[in-house]
Structure 1
């Protein structure tokens, strides 16, 4: 029986953000999937403070990203691959944004003001309304292109 596409897709964002205690704890649990750890043990193995470890682990449990048994938290084996892929995707996104060049025009305030309107109701720019130096530059560019071809 066919399944509606809406049921196959999940547009909910991943409930853990990079550079958070939850992210670090989940990454640790996925990397050490063979074992369960108490919050104190997670704290000892990560940069999460002892006072934050219990709250962090409780949040992962509440979000159903980690399971708990006898005070130890772990990741279910059948969810490890999916969680690992999601964490790697987050890492890739962080690296992408960190590698953005500093001279990115879109990073400058007001960049959108330099763009022409895409609204069809706006008055189109004509030769009479454009700056003459712009028209001359466009003409020279066209001539150069024609000569090169």
Structure 2
């Protein structure tokens, strides 16, 4: 019996939030994907302190977004493009919401009363 492709593929949400510590650590590893780094090295090269870097890297590892060998974290070469695209999409979404006007009339309660009906019977 044929199975719909949607049932065979995992459509899990990207577990990294914009501008989070995980996002900073993942962005660093994607940018420097040809090397692996310890939490101390990542902390020294980002705005994260060592404890924050350790926690962020642990979450990224648990979510299978990065890999670890001993105390060195890295991204598998075949995952670099996917992670890069995910981060770019995340950044695009942030920029889209930042560019949204603050005077959006749809954000005000009762806006639907001010719009003429598209129903031809009304």
What is the TM-score when the length of structure 1 is the normalising length?
0.71
Q: CA deviation at 1:8?
A: 5.3
TM-score by length of 2: 0.85
Query: 1:91 matched to which residue of 2?
Result: 91
Query: In structure 2, what is the Cα distance between the partners aligned to 1:112 and 1:49?
Result: 48
Name 2:64's counterpart in structure 1: 64
Q: How far apart in 2 are the matches of 1:16 and 1:75?
A: 15
Match of 2:80 in 1: 80
| C-alpha separation in 1, matches of 2:110 and 2:72 | 51
Once structures 1 and 2 are overlaid, which stretch shifts more, 66-75 or 108-117? 108-117
Mind listing any 5+ residue stretches in structure 1 that lack a counterpart? 119-123, 126-149
Higher RCO, Cα 8 Å, sep 6+:
2
Cα RMSD (Å): 2.3
Question: Rg: which structure is higher?
Answer: 1
Quote the Cα distance in structure 2 between the aligned partners of 1:3 and 1:30.
Answer: 35
* Residue in 2 that maps onto 1:43: 43
Alpha-carbon distance in 2 for matches of 1:34, 1:89: 22
SS at match of 1:73: strand
